[in-house]
Amino acid sequence: MGEGVALLEEEVRELIRRRGLDPERDDVGVRGLIAAAVADYEERSLLGLVPRLDDLDLTTKSLHDVISGLGPLQQYLDDPEIEEIWINEPGKVFVARSGRAELTNTILTEVAIRDLVERMLRSSGRRLDLSNPFVDASLPGGERLHAVIPDVTRRHWAINVRKYVVRAKRVADLVSLGSLTAEAATFLEAAVVSGLNILVSGATQAGKTTMVNALAGAIPSNEHVITCEEVFELQLAARDVVAMQCRQANLEGTGEIPLRRLVKEALRMRPDRLIIGEVREAEALDLLIALNAGIPGMCTIHANSAREAVVKMTTLPLLAGENVSDRFVVPTVAAAVDLVVHLDLDSQGRRRVQEIIGLSGRSEGGIIEITTLFERRDAQLTRASGFPPHEERFTRAGFRLQELLAAG
C-alpha cells in the first residue's frame, strides 16, 4: 500500500467514526464518503499538499475492500470463477478455481488474518477462542467460513472461506453444465415431484450442495419445505421454505443447538419436504425416522460411491446410542432411502454424476438390495438395467415410469 493510499485510508476511517457510519450495514453511505474523500484528496495532491495517487479507481476500490470488505481477500470473493479461499499461513493463500487449487501472490500478516476473521465473525454471533478453537459460520454474502486456531493447528490460523456459486437452480441447468444427461435429469425431476427420498453422495467439492439445490427446484410450489444445516448454504428457489441452522454454545457452555435438535423441531413445523444439508453423525437416525414417517426428503453425505453411501447410512445412526441396533437401522434405510445420486470431481475439475442407484426396500443378512439405474460408461452417463422403487408414486404424480426410462 502506497503512502498516499495509507494516508487516505486513515482520513476515511476518521470520517466514518465522526459520522457514526457502520461499514457493514451502510454500504451506500460508505461508498459515497470514500468517493468524496478521494476527490478531495486528488485536489490537494494537485496542489502538492499530499502524495499523488497512481489510479483513482483502483484506490477507491481498495479503500472500499479494506473498510467494508475483506481487504486483500475481497478480490477473490468478487471473482465469480473462484469457489473457495483458504489460508494455511500468512504467506500461503490458496484459491480453488473450477475445482483446481492455485497458490496466489497475496501475502498477509498474522495480525491481518486475525482481524479478517474477527470481522467475518462479527455479523454471525459466533466466537473463536482457546476454549472454542473451531468455528463454522455464514458470512453476510452467503459464504461459509471455517477457522481453526493453535494449539489445534501447529502454529498458524487455518482459514477456509467457501463460496457457494449458484450455477444450477434447476436440474436442467446441470445438463447445460455437463453434469448429467437430459434423460437422467428428466428422471430425477420426476422422482422429486413424485416424492422419492434422495441421498446425494460424493467427495468434498464434488457438487453435492449444488445438486440438492437443483433437485429442490423441482419441488411443487404448494409444498412447505424445511431445511436444516450446520450453517446456511442452500439457496432454494421454493416459494414456501423455512431455513434453519445450528448454533454454538455460549460462553457459559449452554444454548447449543445441534443438527439433531433441528431435525426434531422441523418435524413439528408441518413439513411437506425435509432437506438436511449434510448428515455426518447421529442425526442420520432422526432423518431416517422422519423419512420413515412419510415425509419426503433429501440430504447429502460424504462417500466414495453410491453403495458406500448406503453402507454409511446404516452405520451413522448407530452413533445415536447403544440401544440403536443394526437390526432396526438396516431395514429402515432400505425402506426410507429410495435413490442415491453419486457425484465425482475429476482431475480436470469437472463435477459429474457418476451413478444413480435405487433401493428396492428389501434387505437380507444386513445387506440392502440395490439396483443401478444410470452409470457412467466411457465418460458417458448411460441407462442401466435397474428400475427405481415406488412405481405407484410416479403414476400418482402423473408420470409413466417406463416412458421416463425408455430413452436409455
What CATH number should be reported for the domain holding residue 107?
3.30.450.90
Please give the single-letter amino acid code of residue 200: V
User: Using a CB cutoff of 8 Å and minimum separation of 24, what contacts does 37-43 make?
Assistant: 37/8, 37/11, 37/12, 37/63, 38/8, 38/63, 41/4, 41/8, 41/11
What's the confidence (pLDDT) of residue 166? 64
Q: pTM (2 decimals)?
A: 0.84
56 and 103 inside one domain: no
What's the confidence (pLDDT) of residue 10? 85
CATH number of domain containing 365 = 3.40.50.300
123 and 202 inside one domain: no
What's the confidence (pLDDT) of residue 117? 93
226 and 346 inside one domain: yes
* Beta-ladder partners of 159: 87, 147
On whether the CB atoms of residues 298 and 193 are closer than 8 A, the answer is no
Q: Which of 137, 162, 187 is the last residue of a domain?
A: 162
CA pair distance 368, 349, nearest whole angstrom: 32
144 and 193 inside one domain: no
Residues of the chain with pLDDT under 70: 1-2, 166, 407-408
Looking up cell 445387506 gives 367
CA dihedral 49, 53, 57, 63 (to 10 degrees): -80
Q: Which of 162, 196, 217 is the last residue of a domain?
A: 162
Q: Dump pLDDT digits (tens) for 87-139.
A: 999 999 999 987 789 999 999 999 999 999 998 888 787 888 888 899 998 88
CA 135 to chain centre: 15
CA pair distance 228, 244, nearest whole angstrom: 5
- Domain span at residue 47 reads 3-68
Burial track 144-182 (b if 16+ CB lie within 10 A, e otherwise): bbbbebeeeeeebbbbbbbbbeebbbbbbbbbebebbbe
153 and 264 inside one domain: no
234 and 371 inside one domain: yes
319 and 382 inside one domain: yes
How far does the chain reach from its first CA to its final CA, in angstroms? Answer: 59
Per the rule left: phi > 0, alpha: psi between -120 and 50, beta: everything else, 406 is alpha
CA pair distance 287, 275, nearest whole angstrom: 9
On whether the CB atoms of residues 162 and 207 are closer than 8 A, the answer is no
Q: In 351-401, where do the E strands start and end? A: 351-364, 367-377, 380-383
3-class SS of residue 19: helix
206 and 274 inside one domain: yes
Q: In 45-112, where do the E strands start and end? A: 82-89, 92-97, 100-103
136 and 187 inside one domain: no
Q: Which of 68, 96, 121 is the last residue of a domain?
A: 68
82 and 124 inside one domain: yes
254 and 400 inside one domain: yes
289 and 354 inside one domain: yes
Q: How many domains does the chain have?
A: 3
What's the confidence (pLDDT) of residue 2? 66
Phi/psi at 396 (nearest 5 deg)? Answer: -65, -30
